[in-house]
Structure 1
Amino acid sequence: MKYIVVLGDGMAGWPLEELGGKTTLEAADTPVMDRLAEKAEIGMASMVPEDMAPGSDTANLSVMGYDPKIYYTGRSPLEALSIGVDMADDDVSFRCNLVTLSEKEDKYEDRHMIDHSSSEISTEDAEILLEALKQGLAREGYAFYAGTSYRHLLVWSHGEVSELTPPHDILTKRVGDYLPEDRVLREMMEKSYEILSAHPLNKERRAKGLHPANSAWFWGAGTRPALTSFEERTGKKGVMISAVDLLKGLAVGADMERILVEGANGGLHTNYEGKADAAADALLTGGFDFAYVHVEAPDEMGHQGSTEDKIKAIEYLDGRVIGRITGRLDQAGEDYRIMVLPDHPTPIKVRTHTKDPVPYMIYDSRRADSGLVHTYGESAARQSGLSWPDGYRLIDHLLELDER
């Protein structure tokens, strides 16, 4: 028996008037998910505890079976694990986004957050700009590390954890109300604008119609995490397939293998087929029992506020990932259980994460046709009456561990 999680990051949302009262998930053309739903269990699950922020960090911990109230120590430390940073117990890491701020204002605090991803900047461009920050912001006790696309890292030796605001939560807003109270962090952010806004690469990006990556933005502070081994806890040998450092860091912390797929970039035009094939290969010939396939695109399109592109991302996930994985396992005659779900909603209306429960679907290839007609989406999942208030318990249900 093989087990799969396909995680459409931020795939859930709220009903939209322009979609006739449907969500983007419900409006998308998803024949594969709808076909599976006819024989699947569907319901709702709360992946973010009520008293915690609705981040992909807390939510994916839950999806993987780790109670965030016990295991969460901050977002950026998980990314540090992926990058290979060996943090000391009293080090504090911060996510360092390369963001786009408005450029007409005279003072840094009066600028507005235009784009948390700088037009989904390429890793190659980002590395050039991060090198400029390393040189221009050099300071004892602070170190920058390159990640993927706009997602990078700052580690403060013997630092202090402080509450900071994610840039995707303040799109279009004046940044002055959300700057760090810590003097050094604030000075570094302000100076980063001076360094990056005049950088030749950003001049080229403006000429190409791309948003300049003109400032660093620190958030997601935390200390070194300590997760228990996924295999020891579940008895399943697992593999993680994702383009983003957060999920790759979760895999490192859980002692899961990681497969890096060429062309997987966390954007709308990622290598969907490569991710699907990597998962199928791992399960069919690689000796793995469990594959976690994470696709970032729906979340990114939700942050951008693009209904059309979020629907497109969901449709790509349906046919190019879920359809490809299940097709290969069916062809091989392999029994499997697959769970499809988001980690959290990213509604178009608010362009950021919310704590709402998410719809999940568990399909078992051994299950006979139930004669059900429901499709996969928020409304159908709510109507099922199935609910998991503690979402971190759901993976044990997928893996049949709760049936022992």
Structure 2
Amino acid sequence: MKYIIVLGDGMADEPIESLGNKTPLAYANTPVMDRLSKKSEIGMVHTIPEGMSPGSDTANLSVLGYDPKIYYSGRSPLEALSIGVPMKDTDIALRCNIVTISEEDIPFEERTIIDHSSGEISTEDCAVLLEAIRKELETDFYKFYVGTSYRHCLIWDKGEVVELTPPHDVLTQAIGKYLPEDAVLREMMEKSYHILVNHPINIERKKKGLNPANCCWFWGAGTKPMLDSFEEKTGKKGMMVSAVDLLKGIAVGAGMGVSIVEGANGGLHTNYEGKTQAALKAVLEDGYDFVYIHIEAPDEMGHQGSTERKVTAIEYLDQKVLKPLTHKLDEEGTEYRLMVLPDHPTPVRIRTHTSDSVPYLLYDSRRPCSSNWNYNEAEAKAGGIYISKGHELINHLFEQ
């Protein structure tokens, strides 16, 4: 028996007037999900524990069976694990996003964040920009490490877990009241703007009509994580397929395998086919019992506030992941249990995460059930199945 989770990050949403008051998930053309939904259990699950922020960190820990109230020590430390940062017990890891802020001739604190992802800048270009930051700002106490695309890491030796705001929560707002209270972090953010604003890469990006990657934004501070082994915890040998350092970091911390897929970048046009093939190889050839396929694009499109592109991201997940995945498993005669769900909603209206419950679909190739529900938020809620503790959901997947 093989077990698979296909997670559309931020895929859940609110009804949108331009979609006929449907959510993107309900509106999207998803023939594979439509077919599976008639043979699956459809329900709702609450992935964010009460009192915790609705981040992809806490939510994905829940979906993987780790209670965030026990295991969560911050987002950035998980990402640090992914990129091989040797954290000491006294280190604090912070996410270092390279974002786009406005370039008017006004005080730094009056500027606004235009784009939290700098136009989904490539890792190659952003690594050059981060090297410019490193040359000017790195010290014995503050070390920068390259991650993926706009997502990077700062390690603060003998630092402290300070309260910091995610940049996607500050979009279009003046940044002043969201800047760190810590004077050094605040100064580094302002200095980073002056280092990057006229960097040749950004001059060229602006000539092409692309958003410049012109400022560091620190957030997600935390301490070295301690996760139990996924295999010892579940009895299943697991593989992570994701472009995102956070998810790869969770997998490293949990002792899972991590598949590196060329061209997988977390954007709308990521290498869906490569990720699907990596997942199939894991379960059909390499002896893995469980694979977690993480698709970042719906979340990114929600942060961008693009209804159309979020619908497209969901359709790509259906056609470029679920279709070839289920076709190959069925063709091979492999018995499998498949779960499809988001980690949290990222409504395009507000362009950030919420803590609302999300819909899940659970299909068993051996025992297809008969369902009257389609897979979307409203019908999953109407079906009446509700799992209140997200970290218990994976036990439901592993039931025989």
Equivalent-residue separation in structure 1 for 2:63 and 2:336 (angstroms): 18
* Partner of residue 92, structure 1: 92
Q: For residue 246 of structure 1, what is the amino acid of its counterpart?
A: L
Is residue 273–residue 320 contact of structure 1 (8 Å, CA) maintained in 2?
Answer: yes
Is residue 34–residue 374 contact of structure 1 (8 Å, CA) maintained in 2?
Answer: no
State the 1:273 CA deviation: 0.8
Is residue 373–residue 383 contact of structure 2 (8 Å, CA) maintained in 1?
Answer: no
* Partner of residue 386, structure 1: 385
Q: Deviations over 1:79-105 (max 9, x none)?
A: 000010111111001000000000114
Is residue 40–residue 369 contact of structure 2 (8 Å, CA) maintained in 1?
Answer: no
TM-score after normalising by structure 2: 0.99
* Partner of residue 216, structure 1: 216
TM-score after normalising by structure 1: 0.98
* Partner of residue 262, structure 2: 262
The correspondence of residues 5-404 of structure 1 with structure 2, limited to 5 A, is 5-370=5-370, 372-400=371-399
Is residue 105–residue 111 contact of structure 1 (8 Å, CA) maintained in 2?
Answer: no
State the 1:198 CA deviation: 1.3
Equivalent-residue separation in structure 2 for 1:267 and 1:124 (angstroms): 15
Equivalent-residue separation in structure 2 for 1:121 and 1:97 (angstroms): 11
Is residue 40–residue 368 contact of structure 2 (8 Å, CA) maintained in 1?
Answer: no
Q: For residue 77 of structure 1, what is the amino acid of its counterpart?
A: P
Q: For residue 241 of structure 1, what is the amino acid of its counterpart?
A: V
Equivalent-residue separation in structure 2 for 1:154 and 1:173 (angstroms): 24
State the 1:138 CA deviation: 2.4
State the 1:142 CA deviation: 0.5
Q: Deviations over 1:107-164 (max 9, x none)?
A: 1100001000000000010000000000011222110000000000000001011010
Equivalent-residue separation in structure 1 for 2:375 and 2:258 (angstroms): 29
Q: Deviations over 1:33-85 (max 9, x none)?
A: 11111010111101001200000000000000000000000000000000101
Equivalent-residue separation in structure 2 for 1:368 and 1:234 (angstroms): 24
Equivalent-residue separation in structure 1 for 2:247 and 2:22 (angstroms): 29
Q: Which runs of 5+ in 2 are unaligned?
A: none
Aligned CA RMSD, in angstroms, stands at 0.8
Q: Deviations over 1:255-288 (max 9, x none)?
A: 0000111111100001111111111111111101
Is residue 142–residue 154 contact of structure 1 (8 Å, CA) maintained in 2?
Answer: yes
Q: Deviations over 1:11-44 (max 9, x none)?
A: 0000011111100000000110111110101111
- DSSP 3-state at the match of 1:217: strand
Is residue 12–residue 359 contact of structure 2 (8 Å, CA) maintained in 1?
Answer: yes
Equivalent-residue separation in structure 1 for 2:133 and 2:117 (angstroms): 17
Equivalent-residue separation in structure 1 for 2:372 and 2:56 (angstroms): 32
- DSSP 3-state at the match of 2:184: helix
Equivalent-residue separation in structure 1 for 2:242 and 2:163 (angstroms): 27
- DSSP 3-state at the match of 1:11: coil
- DSSP 3-state at the match of 1:276: helix
- DSSP 3-state at the match of 1:47: coil
4+ residue segments displaced more than 4 Å: none
State the 1:200 CA deviation: 1.1
Is residue 138–residue 144 contact of structure 2 (8 Å, CA) maintained in 1?
Answer: no
Equivalent-residue separation in structure 2 for 1:50 and 1:26 (angstroms): 27
Distance change (3 Å), C-alpha of 1:21 and 1:165: same
Is residue 134–residue 144 contact of structure 2 (8 Å, CA) maintained in 1?
Answer: yes
- DSSP 3-state at the match of 2:100: strand
Number of residues paired by the alignment? 400
Equivalent-residue separation in structure 1 for 2:380 and 2:140 (angstroms): 52
Is residue 28–residue 314 contact of structure 2 (8 Å, CA) maintained in 1?
Answer: yes
Equivalent-residue separation in structure 1 for 2:146 and 2:367 (angstroms): 46
Equivalent-residue separation in structure 1 for 2:20 and 2:200 (angstroms): 46
Q: For residue 111 of structure 1, what is the amino acid of its counterpart?
A: R
Q: For residue 140 of structure 2, what is the amino acid of its counterpart?
A: E
State the 1:319 CA deviation: 1.1
Q: Deviations over 1:195-248 (max 9, x none)?
A: 000111110010010101110000000000000000001100000000010000
Is residue 42–residue 373 contact of structure 2 (8 Å, CA) maintained in 1?
Answer: no
State the 1:369 CA deviation: 4.8
Q: Deviations over 1:280-336 (max 9, x none)?
A: 111111101000000000000000011110000000000110111111100000000
Equivalent-residue separation in structure 1 for 2:322 and 2:164 (angstroms): 36
State the 1:106 CA deviation: 2.0
- DSSP 3-state at the match of 2:65: coil
